[in-house]
Structures are given as C-alpha cells and as structure tokens.
Amino acid sequence: MKFLGIIPARYASTRFPGKPLVEIGGKSMIHRVYEQVQNILDEVVVATDDQRIYDAVIAFGGKVVMTSENHKSGTDRCYEAYTKVDGDFDVVVNIQGDEPFIQASQIELLKQCFVDNSTQLATLVKPFEKGCDFQTVFNPNTPKVVLNKNMEAIYFSRAIIPYVRNHKWEEWTNEQTFYKHIGLYAYRADVLAEITQLPQSSLEIAESLEQLRWIENGYKIKVGITHEETIGIDTPEDLEKAELFLKERSA
C-alpha cells in the first residue's frame, strides 16, 4: 500500500495565530513536524492557505500545496491537497501541524491498522496514567475516547468519558483507564472523498469534533494504542512546555 502524509497548516489559528511558524529549538514547528514523518511515508506534503507558510516550507526543502482558505476542517483541506498531488495513494494520513514530537513509531502503528482490509479510517489514542491528576483528564482541550472490543472508537468527547459511578472524581483515574485522543487520522482514499461530502452533524457541532460526523454516519474508526508521549501546541503556554520537553529529551 502507498501512504500519503498531509500536514494541514493554517496561519489564522484562533488561539495561537501564526502557530506553524513559531520556533521550537531553532526550527519552525511545521519544519519539525515534517522532519518527524518524512521517512516513514511514501510522500509528505504540507497543505496551507497562507503564502508565509508556503514560502517557509519551500525554504526548508519540503513539498507544499496551496489550498482554499474556506475549509472548515483539516480533513477537508487534506482532501483538496490529495487531489492536487501527483501519484496514486491508497491511504491518506492527516498529520496535525501542531504535533512537533510525533514519532515514526506512531505513524507505523497507524499504518498497521490498514493491514485489515476492512479498515476505513484509523486514529491513535494514549492511555492517561493511572492515578494522574483528575484535572489533566478533565481538560476539554484534550478529547477523550472510548473503545469497543474490536479496537474501534465508540465515541469522542471533550468531557470525561466514561462516567465512573459510585466513586469520587479524585478516584476515577485509579478505577478506570481513560484514553486521550492523539491528533492523527488516516483514511482510505475513497473514504476520504466520501466523508468530505457529509454535512456537519449535531454531535460534531456540540463537541466541535469532526470525527463524530463520521461515526454518526456509520463509518468505523480503527484505533491503535500508543504509549509515546507527544505535546500538541494549542496555546502560547503549550509552546513553553514544548521547549522544556525538547530540552529534557536532548539531555
């Protein structure tokens, strides 16, 4: 199978404008993401709507395509980029442009989901540590996932799921394994074309999580479990954590 990696990158982020171009340890964030995944996929391309990001990717030798500024989701931007890239690809991997520490092993885990020919879509989750601070799990910027026995996502939520009855909140992380969603998706090319034609769903609008649209429409999302730590950059405060993480890993 041939895998195309696409990194959607917008300049006009609501919480952190210009995020793809901020520097972490002397390299732009989009450069770090690109380097992390370029050797594990058949081809990697950045999909942007901003000339500054386009020029930055060209400057470090990456591949990039311009896409519409009207896309409402990274998936829609991925599909437009897919249609503009030469070559035949079986699976498109959507790599978040704000995950500068994504690991090659995580991309490989995502690819392995497609050994099963019935897999339509795939993503990754990471277990929260047992006994971790309840507020860490409570954070609505960190979507949670529940799985079925076939390793498929049943539901994603910004709320804590599942609810642990008959226990105090402070005890929940000792009583139940909670899963954090890692911002990676992979789609069979034909499925990607289909899901971009679906209208927004009620659950998607309520939670502001586009993957709920796919579940509501009957698509199944295969899930791989990773234990690698990553840091998503959503706010300027997260950038400080990323700098510290980089220093600790280098040490």
What pLDDT does residue 245 have? 75
Q: Is 31 helix (H, G, I), strand (E, B) or coil?
A: helix
Pairing of strands 121-127, 3-9: unpaired
Q: With bands split at pLDDT 50, 70 and 90, how would you rate the model's confidence at 14?
A: low
Q: What is the mean pLDDT of the chain?
A: 92
Q: How far is CA 134 from the centre of its chain?
A: 23
More reliable by pLDDT, 96 or 41: 41
Q: Is residue 4 within 8 Å of residue 45, measured between CB atoms?
A: yes
Low-confidence winner among 45-59, 171-185, 227-241 (lowest mean pLDDT): 227-241
Name residues whose C-beta falls within 8 Å of residue 59's C-beta, 6 or more positions apart in sequence. none
pLDDT at 175 over 90: yes
More reliable by pLDDT, 88 or 17: 88
What pLDDT does residue 15 have? 67
What pLDDT does residue 73 have? 87
What pLDDT does residue 66 have? 97
- pTM of the predicted structure, to 2 decimals: 0.91
Between helix 29-37 and helix 104-112 the angle, nearest 10°, is: 50
pLDDT at 49 over 80: yes
- Tens digit of pLDDT for each residue in 70-115? 988 889 999 999 999 999 999 999 998 888 889 999 999 999 999 9
Q: With bands split at pLDDT 50, 70 and 90, how would you rate the model's confidence at 24?
A: confident
Q: Is 44 helix (H, G, I), strand (E, B) or coil?
A: strand
Q: What does the pLDDT average to over 166-181?
A: 94
**The residue to which tokens 């990274």 are assigned:** 74
pLDDT at 158 over 70: yes
CA 76 to each of CA 7, 23, 81, 120, 157: distance values in angstroms, whole numbers, following the listed order? 12, 27, 9, 17, 21
